[in-house]
């Protein structure tokens, strides 16, 4: 499948935190020829193993499968409902169509005609509601159900793709592309592709990911803030210039050098992203999971994060998949520094 086909397929699935199984089922089915075995760990993460030679080092690629969503919290008379919108700016919600288990609704707001004259009102989630168009509370989604943006995925121009849930299905697509590219090849490593749960609600899946697995190194994939007009920071990564390699105190120097040198050798574009502290990704948890995992971060630039229509570059997703495949092929021992090649220093 192409990058566009993976993006279309994955963003057509709706999977809020705690509801990732629909994505996992599709990955198991579509990637079946590209992995040797699969399992689900105690936290609910999906693990796909691509076995290497006996005793081969273990290289982990991981991305989170969940997406942000609204959550229904109260039924109101007349077919209305209140909701919570964690990590979502309410400014993007009025008049938006949402969906939960086949029931569609529209986010409503106080009309400007009914506001106090001369007073500017900025709606927060407490001022908004959903109109499901029914008089019966029995027809409403249950309290606690996730509500999804009912916005279809689509390609924009030659190299942009927009959809809800590209955080982090863009990274899931990149790992899927890498597994497909590596199908049938003899590799010097065992590749483990892990798709985690509940990243958007505290990164809980990553905290349990490495129990019993003990990877020798990990590359965490996520999206990052791409440069866009209203953002003041001039050093944000640009869409279309490749994925961004994280550089900071929590990424062993040998790991980010390995990513950059492999990209350069293969002619794969990449950028740098400074990470002076918490990256806000599963990588922050993964590096201290189990007995500790040397962890790199590779981020796909994205605009309008946590909105009904996030945007990525199709080229970035495709090149990110190529880079992962190249990492899996590269000679393992020559990329590690330290005594006996045992450390990523």
User: Is the pLDDT confidence value at 35 over 90?
Assistant: yes
What pLDDT digit, counting tens, does each position of 148-165 carry?
999 999 999 999 999 999
- Residue 221, judged by CB atoms within 10 A of its CB (0-12, 13-18, 19+), counts as buried
User: Is the pLDDT confidence value at 341 over 90?
Assistant: no
Which of 233, 256, 246 is closest to 303 using CA atoms? 233
The pLDDT assigned to 332 comes to 73
The pLDDT assigned to 285 comes to 73
Which domains does the chain carry?
3-68+165-341 (3.40.630.10), 70-149 (2.40.30.40)
pTM confidence score? 0.92
Confidence of residue 212 (pLDDT cuts 50, 70, 90): low
The pLDDT assigned to 119 comes to 53
Q: Which residues contact 220 (CB under 8 A, 6 or more apart)?
A: 62, 63, 206, 281, 282, 283, 286, 295, 296, 297, 298
Q: Could you tell me if residue 338 is left (phi over 0), alpha (psi between -120 and 50 degrees) or otherwise beta?
A: left
User: Is the pLDDT confidence value at 193 over 60?
Assistant: yes
User: Is the pLDDT confidence value at 272 over 90?
Assistant: yes
Work out the mean pLDDT of the chain and round it to a whole number. 88
User: Is the pLDDT confidence value at 118 over 60?
Assistant: no
In the chain, what is the straight-line distance between the N-terminal and C-terminal CA atoms, in Å?
A: 37
Tell me the range of 40-54, 101-115, 132-146 where mean pLDDT is highest: 40-54
In whole angstroms, what is the distance from residue 142 CA to residue 220 CA? Answer: 35
The pLDDT assigned to 340 comes to 41
Compute the average pLDDT of residues 18-23: 94
Which of 176, 178, 317, 153 is closest to 239 using CA atoms? 317
What pLDDT digit, counting tens, does each position of 291-301 carry?
678 999 999 99
Residue 262, both tokens? 């492999």
Choose the weakest-confidence range: 1-10, 112-121, 196-205, 214-223.
112-121
Confidence of residue 324 (pLDDT cuts 50, 70, 90): very high
């Amino acid at each position: 499948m192409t990058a566009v086909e993976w993006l279309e397929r994955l963003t057509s699935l709706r999977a809020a935190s705690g509801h990732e199984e629909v994505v996992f089922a599709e990955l198991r089915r579509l990637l079946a020829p590209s992995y040797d075995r699969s399992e689900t760990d105690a936290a609910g993460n999906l693990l796909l193993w691509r076995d290497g030679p006996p005793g081969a080092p273990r290289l982990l690629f991981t991305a989170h499968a969940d997406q942000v969503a609204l959550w229904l919290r109260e039924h109101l008379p007349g077919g209305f409902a209140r909701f919570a919108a964690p990590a979502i700016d309410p400014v993007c919600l009025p008049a938006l169509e949402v969906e939960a288990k086949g029931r569609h609704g529209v986010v409503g707001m106080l009309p400007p005609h009914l506001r106090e004259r001369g007073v500017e009102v900025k709606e927060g989630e407490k001022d908004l509601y959903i109109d499901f168009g029914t008089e019966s509370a029995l027809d409403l989604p249950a309290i606690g159900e996730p509500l999804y943006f009912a916005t279809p995925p689509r390609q924009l121009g030659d190299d942009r793709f927009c959809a809800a849930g590209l955080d982090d299905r863009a990274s899931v697509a990149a790992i899927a592309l890498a597994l497909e590219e590596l199908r049938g090849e003899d590799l010097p490593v065992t590749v483990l592709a892990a798709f985690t749960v509940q990243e958007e609600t505290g990164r809980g899946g990553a905290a349990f990911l490495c129990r019993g697995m003990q990877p020798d190194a990990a590359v965490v994939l996520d999206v990052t803030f791409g440069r866009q007009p209203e953002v003041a920071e001039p050093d944000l990564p640009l869409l279309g210039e490749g994925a961004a390699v994280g550089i900071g105190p929590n990424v062993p120097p040998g790991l980010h050098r390995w990513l950059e040198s492999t990209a350069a050798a293969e002619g794969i574009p990449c950028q740098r992203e400074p990470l002076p502290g918490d990256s806000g990704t599963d990588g922050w948890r993964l590096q201290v999971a189990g007995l500790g995992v040397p962890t790199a971060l590779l981020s796909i630039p994205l605009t309008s994060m946590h909105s009904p229509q996030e945007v990525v570059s199709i080229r970035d997703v495709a090149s990110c998949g190529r880079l992962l495949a190249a990492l899996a092929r590269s000679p393992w021992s020559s990329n590690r520094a330290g005594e006996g090649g045992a450390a990523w220093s």
